[in-house]
Amino acid sequence: MTRLLEGKRCIVTGGTRGLGLAMCVAFARHGARVALTYHKDDASAEDAKRAIAAAAGDEPLVFKGSVADGAHVKSTVAAVVSAFGGVDVLVNNAAITQVLPISLLEESDWDELMDVNVKGVYLYSRAVLRHMIRAKRGSILNIGNFSSERIIESPIHYAASKSALRGLTEALAREVGRYSIRVNLLAPGLAEVGMAQGLPQHRQKEYLDKCPLGRLARPDEIAEMAAFLVSDSNSFMTGAKVVLDGGL
């Protein structure tokens, strides 16, 4: 296998489960040094450490805390820079969702989701860019979702947060391109992990009925695309949205 990320120093937020873990494992297999973050589940963090070590031989750096906590984000990035000597890649993957109609959606629900799904991307991007700009290189990948396209009914606050990432990606790509830093958005369809697990069966069926390939994505398929997008093999793409949804 071509090692797309040999020697790259990577941070993946929300990296202990689902797509986040799949990306950490793929990045490690491609030769990257991996740091990951998580919020609450210590058992999943230990499982992730073992899975990544089994894939690449080295344990990742693991940091517990909220992506919406500015002080935690700053200290995490500082610790990664101290350990690795810098940061080449940031994947903003951490996100939450709730399957709620607007009539049951409390203001606190909206605020919590926006803090994690949008503010967290801003905080981590700002923190790593201070190092990437000095190095005049780097790659940021924001993980979006098909829900922003309204392919099937989805919670309004989740769809709004993922739509916001599109504008953030485009604006940030224009701002930091002069430093040879690329910013892109990967928008997967429903996968065998993550959001699909919380959807009612009729919603999954609605998606599969519309998907030409007729199945959910495997996490490793999305992770391999993510590895390519942040690699030097993808050196002239920035501000782009890459859709990986089986043909929807």
The residues with which 92 forms a beta bridge, in sequence order, are: 142
Helix crossing, 18-29 with 42-56: angle to 10°?
Answer: 20
Is the separation of the CB atoms in 190 and 196 below 8 Å?
yes
Residue at 172: amino acid letter: L
- Has 207 been annotated as catalytic? no
In angstroms, the first-to-last Cα distance of the chain is 29
**Secondary structure class of 214 (helix, strand, coil):** coil
Q: Cα separation of 90 and 141, whole Å?
A: 6
Residue 240's alpha-carbon distances to 53, 133, 234, in angstroms, are: 32, 20, 11
Q: Report the alpha-carbon distance of residue 44 to residue 222 in Å, rounded.
A: 20
State whether residue 90 is helix, strand or coil.
strand
Centroid of chain to Cα 239: 16
Pick the catalytic residue from 38, 122, 124, 158. 158
Residues involved in catalysis: 158
